[in-house]
Structure 1
Amino acid sequence: MSTPLLQVESLSQRYALPRTAGWRLATVQALASVSFTLPAGRNLGVVGESGSGKSTLARLVCALEAPHCGSVRFEGQDLHRLSPTALRAARRGFQMVFQDPFGSLDPRMRIGHSVAEPLRGLRLGSSAEQHARVAEMLEAVGLNATDSERYPHEFSGGQRQRIALARALITRPQLIVADEPVSALDVSVQAQVLNLMQDLQERYGVTYLFISHDLAVVDLICDEVLVLQHGQVVEHGPTDEVLRHPQHPYTQSLLAAAL
């Protein structure tokens, strides 16, 4: 039996709340025993209202913070048990795309420098090879190689998200964790970016963990849906089954609100 691309087991996370009167330190449970398996080539959509734990899950999957308990295994490796050196090497296989592309791009840095950042951080390739890879990735997302000399403010929101995709793809990852990647874009631009993501998947064989509150977007791009409520999984299954025949009242309420 082949090893899943991503396996999350009993993942939980707590955060301390600001201390108030008294000595007791209050906490909030952001995730509670979340488990799922994501095979290569199948896209998983994670849906839920704000505060349901979606972004916390994305950060834990990308090892941007440590969980309270549970494990995240990428290609069989428990990311949160790796040494810093081993984790840095593993990061070549997974990257993240954030909701606000402008906020994730340094306004003082030319686009080519930003797109090449993962290569420099992972020490992949010579300067000439990095420059060639940047040109390739910019053209793959529908921009021009010469755009590498421009700054973020010179692009539209949709173009900046294309740049973010180019940066995520530059290490040729197997997995991209996309945290609300189109929610800040106009509807027409959303469709263009989603179509691009599907084209990039076919071209590079990438798998998406797609975080979203928009069920229509998830319906378009995802093979399976996982529904989070207050940090707990309340429903999980094939997209068509969950969105056409929801079993849990919370999923039903999300669908009713989207109509």
Structure 2
Amino acid sequence: MNTIDTVASSALPTGAGGQFDPAPLLLRVRDLQHHYPLPRTRLLGPRARVAALQGVSFDIRAGRSLGVVGESGSGKSTLARLVMALDTPSGGTVELLGRDLHRLPARELRAARRDFQMVFQDPYGSLDPRQTVERIVTEPLQALDSATGAELRERAAEVLAQVGLRPGDALKYPHEFSGGQRQRIAIARALITRPRLIVADEPVSALDLSVQAQVLNLLADLQEQFGVTYLLISHDLAVVQHLCDEVLVLHQGRIVERGAPEDLFSAPRHPYTQALVASVPRIDAL
């Protein structure tokens, strides 16, 4: 079957290839829907709405990486914002560690954010230019903890070292860094709460190709070292193939195909996936 709108139930946890996966379930998304209102065309009557997501369901197990690919407008970034509980879904559930994030009281949701953080697309726009790196990196902790200034400085130095920056960089400002270094700062900010899940929305699309490889290798190393789980949103098939265990193809708000990246991209079944794969430039075709 080419179109996949639901996740088949199973007595055993399975990976992308249908084999037994012993890792515990971390994120469970079921029948996720989101509709945006369109501008009014008349004074009276209900506003028309457009469906950005239509019944999206998937699981991610601890320590794994799930990629979501699709062209602009397919619903990828909407999905990321709903998983992060930044927007409210029109229907469906997002359960992290068994808790439905969209039904948690505000105070409990703030506390739960320790377990899930986000890396945004633009390393130039996602960092406040008026704040030092130390302030930027420790911002998630300041909202969660009652840590002292000395403890925050220690944690900042620790996490900057983990992403390949120097402790002294904590006193600098974003404009003093390259794009790749800024994205490392954004990753450090996401890591500082020691989250279980990181949602990365096009984390390397604004970077040069050589820098993209460095950031992707960093993400892979951090996963190996800390067991962090990734939900990676991207339009770039090579990016998800490098990092992800499983890939979902999103088209017009629906999952149309899923599987291991090597299988999905070598023998795509759905016409939309076939078109995505065919659009990737090949050296032998140039």
Q: What's the TM-score bracket when you normalise by the shorter of the two chains?
A: over 0.9
Q: Aligned partners of 1:17, 1:101: CA distance in 2, in Å?
A: 30
Tell me if structure 2 keeps the 8 A contact 1:180–1:210. Answer: yes
The partner residue of 1:44 within 49, 52, 66 is: 66
3-state SS of 2:232 partner:
strand
Structure 1 residues 193 and 87: CA distance shift in structure 2, 3 A: same
The partner residue of 1:162 within 176, 184, 193 is: 184
Alignment of structure 1 residues 55-134 onto 2, 5 Å: 55-123=77-145, 125-134=147-156
Work out the percentage of aligned pairs sharing the same amino acid: 63
Tell me if structure 2 keeps the 8 A contact 1:48–1:229. Answer: yes
Q: Aligned partners of 1:115, 1:66: CA distance in 2, in Å?
A: 26
The partner residue of 1:248 within 270, 273, 280 is: 270
3-state SS of 1:128 partner:
helix
Q: 1:13 is aligned with what amino acid?
A: H
Q: Aligned partners of 2:230, 2:143: CA distance in 1, in Å?
A: 22
Number of aligned residue pairs: give it: 259
Residue 259 of structure 2 corresponds to which residue in structure 1? 237
Q: Structure 2: where are the runs of 5+ without partners?
A: 1-11, 13-22, 282-286
Residue 170 of structure 2 corresponds to which residue in structure 1? 148
Q: Give the structure with the higher percent helix.
A: 1
Aligned-pair distance for 1:125?
2.7
What does the per-residue CA deviation read over 1:97-130, in whole Å, with 9 as the maximum and x for residues that have no partner? 0000221111111111000000001125332211
What does the per-residue CA deviation read over 1:182-237, in whole Å, with 9 as the maximum and x for residues that have no partner? 00000000001101111111111101100000001111100000000000010112
Aligned-pair distance for 1:131?
1.0
Residue 34 of structure 2 corresponds to which residue in structure 1? 13
TM score, norm. by length of structure 1: 0.97
Aligned-pair distance for 1:22?
4.8
3-state SS of 1:5 partner:
strand
TM score, norm. by length of structure 2: 0.88
Tell me if structure 1 keeps the 8 A contact 2:24–2:62. Answer: no
Tell me if structure 2 keeps the 8 A contact 1:107–1:151. Answer: yes
Residue 48 of structure 2 corresponds to which residue in structure 1? 26
Residue 4 of structure 2 corresponds to which residue in structure 1? none
Runs of 4+ in 1 over 6 A off after TM superposition: none
